Amino acid sequence: MDHMTREQRHRCMSHIRSKNTSPEWRVRKTVFAMGFRYRLHDKRLPGKPDLVFPRLKKVIFIHGCFWHRHSCQANRPLPETNRAFWEEKFRRNQERDRQVLADLWKAGWQTQVIWECETRDSALLQQKLSDFLSGSLPSAVNYDLIEQHALYSLVAEPED
Ligand SMILES: [Zn+2]
């Protein structure tokens, strides 16, 4: 039995549609299908990571390319008006992202950033998530994070 009116159903469907196409949703769906379970937006951790895997001590952030200044946006001009405002805003966003990842790393968490543009290729996305979640090394860390690599070389265990 279906008690929804046409209008209600329409609203409901459009809500589902937009949710199902968001970058975060694509990541969650893929990770879930791979058999991993996670917590969402854990406020107790720096930066409130989008997906948290407590037993693996791993977290995933899904970043919008525009707000977090992914390299794919390099050729996209900044808004003409209030240019200084935008430059400052983006600089702070990037600085905060770096700080959050560094704080998590120091607390023993491995981090992965999935960019919005990377969620459009489902095969690539699955590979990247699998490398990160199944791998014992932080192979998929954000490579901008030189501090992470420096820290990692200090704590890395010798291979068997
Ligand atoms: Zn991008």
First-residue to last-residue Cα distance in the chain: 60
Distance 99 CA to ligand 1 centre (A): 20
Whole-number pLDDT of residue 99: 94
Between 111 and 5, name the one with better pLDDT. Answer: 111
Whole-number pLDDT of residue 147: 44
148 vs 139: CA distance, rounded Å: 12
What residue ranges define each of the domains in the chain, with the CATH number in brackets? 23-155 (3.40.960.10)
86 vs 98: CA distance, rounded Å: 18
Distance 8 CA to ligand 1 centre (A): 35
The reply to whether the predicted model has a pTM over 0.85 is no
Per-residue confidence band for 78, with pLDDT thresholds at 50, 70 and 90: confident
Whole-number pLDDT of residue 76: 79
Least confident of 38-42, 43-47, 80-84: 80-84
Distance 97 CA to ligand 1 centre (A): 15
Mean pLDDT of 62-73: 88
Give 119-125's long-range contacts (Cβ < 8 A, gap of 24+). 119/23, 119/26, 119/27, 119/62, 122/26, 122/30, 125/26, 125/27, 125/30
**In the predicted model, is pLDDT for residue 1 greater than 80?**
no
